[in-house]
Structures are given as C-alpha cells and as structure tokens.
Amino acid sequence: MNKFSVVFAAVVTCLVLSFSACNETTSIGSDLLDQDLISTTFTDTITLEAITELGDSVATYVPFNPISPHPGGFLFGNFIDPVFGRTTASIYSNLLPSSILDETPSTFITNQNQIDSVILMLPYFYDGLYGDLRNGMDINVYQLEEFLPDSLIFNDRTFDYNTTPIGSSTIRPNLSQTQTLTLLEPFPSGDSIGTIVTPNHMRIPLSNLYGFDLMTLSPDSYTNDTAFLEEIKGIYIESTSDDAGMLAFQMLYNRTGSSYVQPGIKVYYHVDTIDYSYTFALHDETSRAMANPSYTHLVHDYTGSIVEPYIDDAAANEEFVFVQGGNGLETVFTIPYTDVLDDVSIIKAELEVYAYTFYDDSEFFYPPVSNLVLSREEISEDGDTTLVIIDDAFYGFQKQNLSGIFGGIPLRGSETIEAPYSLENNVSSDKNSFGFNSTKYLGEPVRYTMNIAAHLNKLRDGVFTNKLYLTVFTRPQRPGRVVLCGPGHPEYPAKINLYYSK
C-alpha cells in the first residue's frame, strides 16, 4: 500500500481550496454541554485495536503557493531520544543574491584580505524546538554541487555536496527571543544602520575564502539568478554531535519579522577604511526569476531503542503505542466491529488516549507533543492510498479552532499544557518545557481527546474504512513525540467514548 502522510502545506491547500466547494462538513458533538447528554446512552466498550508503524516519507519542501505558503520550520540536529532513538535532520538550501548591488563586487573586492568575516545566519523557529538544548552542537557547512529543484521534495532525498567544509563550529544555541547587532549597508553607501535589537538567530562562521568567492563571481551572476546558480549551488548543513534535542530554523526569507535579520549568508568586508556587508538569501519566497528552495533531510533510526520492539507488534501495542514528528512513528487504530454503530444516532464520540512516561524518559525535557491529528484512508481509482485528515479535524481547521473543535492537545485535569518554548522554561530546575512544575501533577497522566463523531457517522454508512491514523500535526516541522497507553493497558486504555440514541 502506497500511503503518504499528511504534510502541512498540502493540507492547507486542500482546506483553502475546499472552503467554497465543501459545505457538508459539520461539527458533531464538539459543542455539546453535559445536560445535552443526559438522555443519551453511553458506552466506552467498542473494541479498538492499535499498531505502531514506521511513518511514510513526508514532503519537507513544497513549491511556493501564495494561498498556502510553507510554515517555515526546518528541523535540524542529530537528536538521540532516550526512548525513540536517533533522528537526524540536516538542511539543504539554494542561495541567491538578496538584492541587486549598485556595483559589481569584483570591481571593489580585489583581495581576499578585504573579507572580514562570513556568517551563516539562521533564525530560530520556536515551534520546532524540542528536548535538552543546553549543550553545544558540532555543526559543519558544505557547498552543494547541484541546486535544489523547485518541485516537491520528500525527506529521504539527498543531493551531492563537496565534503570539505566551508565552516565548522561548536555552537550552544542561545534561545532568547532577541539579540543586539550592529548592521552595515553594502558598498558604496557606507552607511551604518547602527545597533538594533533583532530576532534571535544562530550565527555560524564560514570561511573567508568562501566569502571571497561569493563576492568575485561574474558580473551577470548578481543580476541574473540563473547565472548565479551556475556558479554557486547552495549549502548543506549538518550536526555531527550527539544532540539531546532538536533545533528548527525559520528558513523563509520574508518570515522573520525583521528586514535586517534574514536566513542567509552575510559577508562583512571593507573597502579602504570603511566597513560594509552584503547578504545572500536562503529560501526566498518573494517574486523573482528563480525559486530558492530549502529542504530538510530526515532519517529515523530505532536500532537498540526502547521503542524498537514495539514497532509492528500488535501484541506489544496492546499496552503501549507511539507517535512521533518528522516522518517518524505513527499509530493506526482499527475498529474491527463496526456493526455496533448500526441503527444508532451518534450524538458525541471521541477517541481518548493517555500519555505514559517510561522510567528512562524525562517529561521535563521531552514533554508530550503539543498537537495530534487523526487521518483516514482515501483510495484513488488507480488503487493508491493517501491519508486525509478526518472531517472533524477538517471542520476545526476550517473554523481556525482545531483544538477547540477537534481536540488533540495534551490535557492534565482541566488544564491545557501548552506554552511557547523558551530557554528559561527548558533549563529551569522546577519547570518543564511547557512551563509547568514537573511535580505539580505527579500521578495524574496527560490525556488527549479527539472528536470523531462525524467520522464515525460516515464509517457507519460505509463511506470510509475502519482505520484511523494518529500522527503529529504538521509533522514535517515538529520533532515532538509521545508514548501512549494502548487499548489493552490495565489502567488507562485507549478507548472510544460514545454517546448515542436509538
């Protein structure tokens, strides 16, 4: 079976294009009050089966579409998870001049000594940060030997690069929201913008020789994107350390919230006694002759991990199942006996699952993933199977209230445990990554509930298959994960809560 996991950009495109055409999707049961359920019958004994499977490939580059632009997050790191094993995320990116220079650089850059420094600037994408990010990361940057095509690129594709690094550094991520920089204009203006506060970003030093090469290309390269890409193919970035967390970068040139700090390579140079700088852009989605893609290469390795013996083992998955971002693990729930839905009117239905923390795990650094979503199978006329988010989630997304209508967010008691990632929360001695005291809710497990009433109605009518795929929402940009109790767990079994009437 050929099934491709839902990717964010594709989902958004589908949703937006469907707004005017689709008027049948409705919310069933998501807004009912307790008193509305008094006259209904309740059951939570519907048979449920589950199995954890390897995730399929996901698209981590989607060509620019103004209706559904890429959200911007590109995962990065060589992350060793205490339960889920190793996830390697490296980044390929094309490179283009960010603007037309008043003069061709080779007319005023004649000596390598004029290059003062070369910095790769990568703004952080905070929604994609995960794990323990207190330690330094060993980062290498290389030159590509081919440029990235402006077409759908899946996470398992690789591109040729020169194995001699143009930059190697050990960098400890600084995850505060802002930093202060002194900015310079390109030659010949000679103007210093001055010292300003900018969005925070990682700054990776590159070879001055590489900067000299960038500034001494043929004159046409600075005014013609095709000519530039014939000489400079772009860069490849990887982490070679064993990292305890995963970074994510905002690679879209027009999404950082600052005109001064953009993802790119900034060359600092001088002419005579005056200092200047010029930026070469990464992943520019603005209107220009050539697309400028960035792409994340993702690999998951479960060898020797706690999760390995649970993969594709239905018996083991009775007790525990697993869901992971990237193109990692997904869990498939099956309702084997759908005849229990015959001749009933479904008032409310939800899938309820509980998170579990293994002894070797740390909820402090690896909290339950912040958004889960359910998808169903859709089989095309030629027999290919794709995953499409279920109607209940579709409706929530359509109304811009996914968590309120569909659910899929982590809950403890009556509290939602979601908050922006911050360095203070991540390394504090008394707070976990969501900002909650790590012992405050000891003994009360995290749970997720997801509305599935509309889906069950169509399942009952024979429209859909009896499988539900549980994945991380916008998974190509999210490295989070969660261990869940399976349908046979002795204390907190995964179950369907069904309210119905005859």
362: nearest Cα among 477, 244, 476, 472:
244
CB atoms under 10 Å from CB of 108, counted, come to 17
Domain assignment present for residue 347? The answer is yes
284: nearest Cα among 229, 215, 217:
229
Q: Do 49 and 83 reside in the same domain of the chain?
A: no
Tell me which of 455 and 360 has the higher pLDDT: 455
**438 — pLDDT class (breaks 50, 70, 90):** very low
**395 — pLDDT class (breaks 50, 70, 90):** very high
Residue after which a domain boundary falls, among 254, 271, 301: 301
Q: How far is CA 467 from the centre of its chain?
A: 25
Each residue's pLDDT tens digit, 85-115: 999 999 999 998 876 655 678 788 889 999 9
Q: How far apart are CA 141 and CA 161, in angstroms?
A: 10
Residue after which a domain boundary falls, among 301, 333, 349: 301
Does position 227 have pLDDT exceeding 80, yes or no? yes
Q: Do 140 and 283 reside in the same domain of the chain?
A: yes
The sign of the CA dihedral 427, 125, 214, 103 is negative
Element (H or E) spanning 455, and its range? helix 453-460
**72 — pLDDT class (breaks 50, 70, 90):** confident
Each residue's pLDDT tens digit, 161-175: 999 999 999 999 877
Q: In degrees rounded to 5, what are phi and psi of residue 49?
A: -115, 155
Residue after which a domain boundary falls, among 301, 319, 334: 301
Q: Do 333 and 208 reside in the same domain of the chain?
A: no
Among 10-24, 181-195, 262-276, whose mean pLDDT is lowest?
Answer: 10-24
Tell me which of 320 and 14 has the higher pLDDT: 320
Q: Do 157 and 275 reside in the same domain of the chain?
A: yes
Name the token pair of 364. Answer: 């402090």
Domain assignment present for residue 294? The answer is yes
Tell me which of 185 and 163 has the higher pLDDT: 163
From residue 316, give the alpha-carbon distance in Å to each of 163, 323, 488.
Answer: 43, 15, 9
Share of the chain above pLDDT 70, in %: 76
Q: Do 297 and 318 reside in the same domain of the chain?
A: no
Q: Do 93 and 25 reside in the same domain of the chain?
A: no
Domain count, the chain: 2
Name the token pair of 476. Answer: 């190509």
Kindly report the pTM of this predicted structure. 0.85
Among 215-224, 367-376, 449-458, whose mean pLDDT is lowest?
Answer: 215-224
Q: Do 239 and 328 reside in the same domain of the chain?
A: no
Q: Which of 248-262, 300-314, 448-462 has the highest mean pLDDT?
A: 300-314
Q: In degrees rounded to 5, what are phi and psi of residue 14?
A: -60, -45
CB atoms under 10 Å from CB of 414, counted, come to 5
Residue 57: HSE in the Cβ half-sphere, 13 Å Cα cutoff? 12
185 within 8 A of 192, measured Cβ to Cβ = yes
Q: Do 48 and 136 reside in the same domain of the chain?
A: no
Q: How far apart are CA 60 and CA 71, in angstroms?
A: 11
Model pLDDT, residue 461: 83
Rounded to an integer, the average pLDDT of 469-492 is 94
Scan for tokens 């070469």, then name that residue.
280
Segments forming the whole domain that contains residue 280:
73-301
Model pLDDT, residue 102: 59
**Type of residue numbered 216:** T
463 within 8 A of 388, measured Cβ to Cβ = no
| Mean confidence (pLDDT) of the chain | 81
Rounded to an integer, the average pLDDT of 348-376 is 90
Tell me which of 359 and 482 has the higher pLDDT: 482
Domain assignment present for residue 365? The answer is yes
Q: Residue by residue, what is the 3-state secondary structure of 1-58?
A: CCCCCCCHHHHHHHHHHHCCCCCCCCCCCCCCCHHHHCCCEEECCCCCEEEEECCCCC
Domain assignment present for residue 1? The answer is no
Q: Do 286 and 337 reside in the same domain of the chain?
A: no
Q: Do 24 and 121 reside in the same domain of the chain?
A: no
Among 108-112, 219-223, 382-386, whose mean pLDDT is lowest?
Answer: 382-386
Does position 211 have pLDDT exceeding 90, yes or no? yes
Does position 318 have pLDDT exceeding 90, yes or no? yes
60: nearest Cα among 16, 15, 10, 96:
10
Model pLDDT, residue 32: 55
Model pLDDT, residue 470: 97
Tell me which of 209 and 33 has the higher pLDDT: 209
The DSSP bridge partners found for residue 201 are 123
Model pLDDT, residue 378: 87
Name the token pair of 8. Answer: 């964010």
Q: How far apart are CA 354 and CA 364, in angstroms?
A: 17
Tell me which of 390 and 194 has the higher pLDDT: 390
Residues 6+ apart with CB under 8 A from 436: 412, 417
Q: Do 132 and 211 reside in the same domain of the chain?
A: yes
The sign of the CA dihedral 218, 222, 227, 229 is positive
Q: How far apart are CA 462 and CA 383, in angstroms?
A: 18
183 within 8 A of 219, measured Cβ to Cβ = no
**11 — pLDDT class (breaks 50, 70, 90):** very low
Q: Do 290 and 204 reside in the same domain of the chain?
A: yes
Domain assignment present for residue 68? The answer is no
**Type of residue numbered 191:** D
Model pLDDT, residue 426: 34
Does position 133 have pLDDT exceeding 60, yes or no? yes
Domain assignment present for residue 248? The answer is yes
Domain assignment present for residue 363? The answer is yes
Model pLDDT, residue 421: 36
Domain assignment present for residue 65? The answer is no
